[in-house]
Amino acid sequence: MDNLIKICGLSTPETLDAALGAGADMVGFVRIPRSPRHVSLDLGHKLSLQARGRAQRVVLLLNPGDEDIAQAVEAINPDLIQLHGSESPERVAEIRSMVKRPVMKALGVAEPSDLQALTSYADADRILLDAKPPRTADALPGGNGIPFDWRLLNGLDRKVSFMLSGGLNPDNVAEAIRLTRTQAVDVSSGVEVGPGRKDPARIEAFIRAARTAFAAAHH
């Protein structure tokens, strides 16, 4: 698997351009109305056109119904669907066959037992390991800026293809790559100056730090 860097929760043409210009491999568009990073179908469509051919386009959905999925796929035409809710392995398989495109399933991690769910999601094309959200009523399913203990992944089967997320930022991404030996990283709040407000300078710094760490990991 190639090393991949995903910038998620992009919601303006300017910040998307910054991510694409800095060399992001994947760009994520959030379809969760209560998220500060939520994009309308119309805006998602425009941003997707802007990114076409320059990066893999990911649409992030939370326990979506069939209609939600159909609308998002039609408007945004994503290269990959990211499921960030409590979707069952059966639902993941169902969505994958419905949309005829790859699906990435996010799993929240806080303790070793959380990793046992990995084997259930064999039908997902990729697994995103994210920090479990805090147990507060207003907590979002992701983008909370909190890392989990990366040492939990020490015993993970190296054949498992996962993307690391949760609390990553330009200052800690190199350490995260070194400790977990992940080949893919995902950032959202770690490159923001406020909820949902991406910072081009932080996006560039994150991508530069991750690329350098990936290069070092191969030596």
8 is catalytic: yes
One-letter amino acid of 200: P
- How far is residue 10's CA from residue 203's CA, in Å, rounded to a whole number? 11
Count the Cβ atoms, other than its own, within 10 Å of residue 171. 12
Options 130, 157, 171, 199, the catalytic residue: 130
d(CA 22, CA 170): 13
Per annotation, catalytic residue among 8, 123, 125, 199: 8
Number of helices (H) and strands (E) in the chain: give both, helices first. Answer: 6, 10
What's the burial of 162, exposed, middle or buried (CB within 10 Å: 0-12/13-18/19+)?
Answer: buried
Catalytic-residue membership of 79: no
Which amino acid appears at position 43 of this protein? L
Active site members = 8, 130
